């Protein structure tokens, strides 16, 4: 994942004593959350990606806390 949220593909060559990246190219703009850890995962067949990204509003949503809710069960 590049700093600009481009998901990159890298061609690598390996041997028992070395690891070398021979070329890197962008696949697509992921629109992933900047600074998120575990930004993406790839399916076992390499054909699909699951990407952690913001959707819609990032405003906090209210939480309703119901206290003494068991008293309502006795009615």
Domain segments of the chain: what residues? 1-53
Give exposure, 26-51, as e/b (b: 16+ Cβ within 10 Å).
eeeebebeeeeeebeeeeeeeeeeeb
Q: Which of 23, 53, 22 is nearest to 36 (CA)?
A: 53
| Residue 63 pLDDT grade (very low, low, confident, very high; cuts 50, 70, 90) | very high
> Which pLDDT does position 24 carry in this prediction?
93
> Which pLDDT does position 37 carry in this prediction?
62
> Which pLDDT does position 59 carry in this prediction?
77
| pTM, rounded to two decimals | 0.54
Alpha-carbon distance of 16 to 21, in angstroms, equals 15
Residue with the bigger pLDDT between 12 and 54: it is 12
pLDDT tens for each residue of 8-34: 889 999 988 999 998 999 988 877 766
């Amino acid at each position: 994942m590049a700093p600009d949220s481009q998901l990159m593909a890298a061609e690598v060559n390996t041997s028992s004593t070395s690891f070398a990246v021979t070329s890197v190219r962008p696949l697509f703009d992921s629109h992933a959350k900047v600074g998120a850890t575990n930004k993406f995962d790839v399916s076992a067949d390499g054909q699909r990606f699951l990407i952690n990204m913001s959707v819609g509003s990032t405003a906090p949503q209210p939480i309703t806390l119901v206290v003494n809710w068991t008293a309502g069960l006795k009615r």
